[in-house]
Amino acid sequence: MILVGGFLGAGKTTLMLSAARLLRGIGRCVGIVLNDQGDELVDTRLAEAAGFPAQEITGGCFCCRFSEFVQKLERMDQPGSKLAPEFIFAEPVGTCTDLSATILQPLKRYYREQFRLAPLTVLVDPARAEELLHPDADPLLAYLFRKQIAEADLVHFSKADLYQQFPALDGVAARPLSAHTGSDIQEWLDEVLSESAVAGSRILEIDYASYADAEAALGWLNWQGELRLRSALTPAAVIGPLMARIDQLLSARQISIAHLKVLARSANGSLKASLCRNGGQPWVDGALDAPPSPRYALTINLRAAGAPEELSSALDLALRDLPGRARTAHWESFRPSPPVPEHRFEDVA
């Protein structure tokens, strides 16, 4: 099992899918487990669209849903199952930390015979690092970010195709890679699968009250539904204006976007776009050249530094501006509850 952590928008799903495609290309079976505080995840739909068996843990992080997490791993690992992957990538919530003590150590202690564990990789967006390491950064989110890096067995900068310089990470050696271009993905895979590094080699010292406050600093919104257009549009023509409108509405309310993801699916193809900050350039994955369609299944995940009702209000206005009718199947907006892990080890198992 390959656990990939990192802050919201670091590119964890993109890295896992890129690596999974490499493994599939040489005939290996791969599964993916996604995680979120809420339901209706863009990344689960994206993994399924890419043809990978995908499971998801919702309503809490892996550590707080550890028993369910293990059940999902075991379900994928059943002999004779169509899933039965040789490799499982697992992506925790982007605001999770203390993964070594609450996930890797329990797996090492209680499930050593069932799962071989790769070293914990933490992925870092260079621009996010500059933002959260700045003296004026939100102290709670900065605390969380530093803890994520501190417990990592391996640290890698993502989006290396976009940056020439990378910030210092408190003395931690971090190497760049790009899931978008594929640069150094094979080298990362070789490293995590070589068993040359210990999985969960360190245990954090962490204040859970500060950790809980950091997670609750962001509002979370998940929406899923159907869009029926007055005339057929390409997925890019749907997602682009929708994301721009959400960005505009949140910026006008001085609400900072931590991560916005939109997935549009039709019979003609699917397209995902993500945004990591207000006014930023969306990151696109999928069929940009997909033909127009009059109907789309839309999934929207938003994490932003605002009250849940403010996020819902902005989304409602943005959906009303679409050139068609959006029918809601699922809508939730909330602040995460404090983390209460099922297990927490004080020492490396």
* Tens of pLDDT, residues 211-268: 999 999 999 999 999 999 999 999 999 999 999 999 999 999 999 999 999 999 999 9
* CATH architecture of the domain covering 218-334: 2-Layer Sandwich (3.30)
- 264 CB-near residues (< 8 Å, 6+ apart): 227, 235, 238, 239, 270, 271, 272, 296, 297, 298
pLDDT in the model for residue 192? 96
Which one, of 272, 249, 247, lies nearest residue 258 by Cα? 247
Q: Tell me if 21 sits within 8 A of 50, measured CB to CB.
A: yes
Q: Rounded distance, CA 157 to CA 175, Å?
A: 6
State the DSSP H helix or E strand holding residue 73, giving kind and residue range, or none if neither: helix 66-76
Q: pTM (2 decimals)?
A: 0.94
- One of 1.10.3720.10, 3.20.20.70, 3.40.50.300, 3.30.9.10 is the CATH number of 2-215, namely 3.40.50.300
Q: Rounded distance, CA 314 to CA 303, Å?
A: 13
CATH 3.40.50.300 domain position(s) in the chain: 2-215
* DSSP symbols for 217-254: TSEEEEEEEEEEEEEEE-HHHHHHHHHHHHHHHHHHTT
Q: Rounded distance, CA 325 to CA 215, Å?
A: 34
| Cα angle value 217/14/147 (rounded, 5°) | 40
What is the torsion angle, in degrees rounded to the nearest 10, for the CA atoms of residue 107, residue 124, residue 29 and residue 197? -50
Burial of residue 237 (CB within 10 Å: 0-12, 13-18, 19+) is middle
Beta pairing partners, 333: 221
CATH 3.30.70 domain position(s) in the chain: 218-334
Q: Rounded distance, CA 35 to CA 267, Å?
A: 26
Phi, psi of 73 (to 5 degrees): -65, -45
The whole-angstrom distance between residue 5's C-alpha and the CA centroid of its chain comes to 8
pLDDT in the model for residue 82? 60
pLDDT along the chain (349 residues), means of 10: 97 97 96 91 90 94 97 81 84 98 98 96 97 96 98 97 91 92 95 92 98 97 98 96 98 98 94 96 87 97 98 98 98 97 96
